[in-house]
Amino acid sequence: MSFVTFVVNNSGVIGTTLRHAREERPVANELILIIEDNEKNRKLVRDVLQVKGYKTIESETAEEGLRLAAEQSPALILMDIQLPGMDGITAMKQLKADPNTKSIPIIAITASAMTHNRTTMLAEGFDGYQTKPISLKDFLGEIDRVLKARSK
């Protein structure tokens, strides 16, 4: 099986790499909410997740994401930090304060790759952290780690 790694920043796809995998992972089937205002980033994340067997729902704003999280109860939320209107940190805190959504793990997705930002995001209450441009291996590994921690 072959797959393509896409390198993306806020401007869109900036590179690709073709790789060959020796074994396939089982179909995931969990529902993941993607809260990302950049259309190209949202499409990339959606396509990668759907190829791996995840179901996805999407929002361009934190406010709509809060509504979708309450209505759909996703297994995981991928939250951009810099969003129009309410930012991702504020949205995460509202989700964690709501008894109906507080148990949903949330991974911060940010363009800032500074080490202290990872520490800060986790201290704020995020369950995971990924930088843009995403590394496919790290991205999928973090999703797998957070979902496995949720099921324990």
Could you tell me the domains of the chain?
A: 2-150 (3.40.50.2300)
Higher pLDDT, 6 or 111: 111
Three-state SS string over 18-79 comes to EEECCCCCCCCCCEEEEECCCHHHHHHHHHHHHHCCCEEEEECCHHHHHHHHHHHCCCEEEE
Higher pLDDT, 118 or 124: 124
Mean pLDDT, residues 120-140: 92
Mean pLDDT, residues 72-91: 96
